[in-house]
Structure 1
Amino acid sequence: MAFSEFELKKIEKALAAFLAKRRPAPHIRPELDFGYKISGQSVELLEIRPQWDNPSIIREHPFAKATYVKTQKAWKIFWKRADLKWHGYQPDIMVPSIEKFLHVVDADEYGCFFG
């Protein structure tokens, strides 16, 4: 089940604030940028960059994901490991809000999201 229109606007507002803080300078964005994708009950944060051997191809690489668990009224945090599978983010597996998820990603205390 997808988010309601009100929930979607709140999520997009929080994501816009996060991206405004985290995106690289405008002259670097053709080589490295960040974005997001909302699908169902999940939000994925993406690294956007050209393919190394063919710069005309733009690749999106998800690095953080939060899925809203309606029954628990919480967001479950995942990170993508080297095996390219999503794994629960153990220090803070569940957070109460999208803002808290973005705070955890921004802090990146264990180097899982931004290395």
Structure 2
Amino acid sequence: MALSEFEIKKIEKAAEAFLAVRRPAPSIRDKWDIGWRLEQQSVFIFETRPLWQDPSQYQDIEVAKATYVQSQRVWKIYWQRQDLKWHSYEPDSQVKTIEQVFDVINQDELGCFFG
């Protein structure tokens, strides 16, 4: 089931609040930045950096994913390990609200998202 317009607006608001806190200073955003995107039921947080081989090109590196499970009414939080697979984030693998998702990612208690 697709997210409703209300839910999408709520996600956008929470994401913008997260970025207001986490984004680097404007003077270095051409070297490193943080963004987000919504794909179906999942929110992805990513870093944008220039390619080391060609600094005129940029790449997005996904650091966090949260997927809404409608039947359980929870957001499941994942982080990407070196194997490039998504792994459940412990100790907070599930939360009730999108705001809690961004709080967990922002706190990054175990250094899984931003090192």
The alignment's TM-score, normalised by the length of structure 2, stands at: 0.97
Q: Is the 1:76–1:88 contact (alpha carbons within 8 Å) kept by the matching residues of 2?
A: yes
Are the equivalent residues in 2 in contact too, given 1:2–1:39 (CA < 8 A)? no
Give the CA RMSD over aligned residues: 0.7
The correspondence of residues 96-115 of structure 1 with structure 2, limited to 5 A, is: 96-115=96-115
Offset from partner CA, 1:10-52 (integer Å, 9 cap, x none): 1000000000110000010000000001000000001011101
Residue 39 (structure 1) aligns with: 39
Q: In the aligned structure 2, how far is the partner of 1:35 from the partner of 1:6?
A: 21
Say if 2:26 is the partner of 1:26: yes
Match of 2:63 in 1: 63
Structure with greater strand share of residues: 1
For structure 2, the residue ranges without an aligned partner over 5 or more in a row are none
How far the C-alpha of 1:2 sits from its partner, in A, is 2.7
Which runs of no fewer than 5 residues in structure 1 stay unpaired? Answer: none
Give every structure 1 segment of 4 or more consecutive aligned residues whose post-TM-superposition deviation is greater than 4 Å.
Answer: none
- 1:51 is matched with 51
SS at structure 1 position matched to 2:25:
coil
Secondary structure at the residue paired with 2:64?
strand
The total of aligned residue pairs comes to 115
Give the residue type in structure 2 aligned to 1:16. Answer: E
Aligned to 1:10: 10
Letter in 2 for 1:97: T
Are 1:93 and 2:93 counterparts? yes
Higher RCO, Cα 8 Å, sep 6+:
2
